[in-house]
Structure 1
Amino acid sequence: MISTRIAIASLLAAALAAPALAQPGPGKAGPRFRFNQDNVPGWTMMSQVERDAHRDRMFSFKTYDECKAYQEEHHKAMQARATEKGKTLGGPRYNACDRMKARGLIK
């Protein structure tokens, strides 16, 4: 009787645990890189369409130099927009190009 209860409890526990173990992991490079207010100056002044275009452009770069050149161009554009709106443009908490290079997304 006791062994039947233990067997049923074990079977139930295994059945409940199986879906959790079947979830995909973050992959070999870890979680996907995200662009947000932490690493994009002017993020809050951009429309969703502009944010999507910025993300797509950042992921299109193959080299660190391309990334940095665009990043500087984007920062100047956001600085102009901030000045126009009477706001102060803060800097990113970390550099997206540096992180992308460290993760092997660009060379």
Structure 2
Amino acid sequence: MQTGCIRLLVIALLAGSAVPAWARGPWRASGANTSGWALMTPEERIAHQARVRSFTDYDACEAYRSQHHALMAERAQQQGVSLNHGARDFCAHLRPTGKD
């Protein structure tokens, strides 16, 4: 009987690890996916991540994203560094699909 329980536990653990990282939890900002990550203070990073997670409307999200990108581009220019342009479009999941 113990062998069956162990087998079920192993199967459950393997099935859980098959879930993609993005599906395991909320979006997490990082230097790899956020324009200007290195140009923000730790407090700004936390506030940015919370703000991004709060959006339910595409237009509001896109307005914030544009404003954030402009601010980070300005900071980058002032500091003489390049801005990471490989960031993910965090508003894309809110884009209207045309389905009602």
Q: Secondary structure at the match of 1:57?
A: helix
* 2-structure distance, mates of 1:34, 1:61: 14
Residue deviations 1:37-75 (CA, integer Å, cap 9, x gap): 232100112122111100111112121111110001001
* TM-score (ref. length: structure 1): 0.65
Match of 1:11 in 2: 2
Match of 1:76 in 2: 70
Larger Rg: 1
Q: How well do the aligned residues superpose, as a CA RMSD in angstroms? A: 3.0
Segments of structure 2 that go 5 or more residues without pairing to the other structure are: 96-100
Q: 1:19 to 1:49 in 2, by over 3 A?
A: farther
Q: Secondary structure at the match of 1:96?
A: coil
User: How much identity, in percent, do the aligned residues show?
Assistant: 30
Choose from 29, 33, 38 the match for 2:32: 38
Total equivalences in the alignment:
90
**Which residues of 2 match residues 33-72 of structure 1 at below 5 A?**
33-72=27-66
* 2-structure distance, mates of 1:46, 1:31: 26
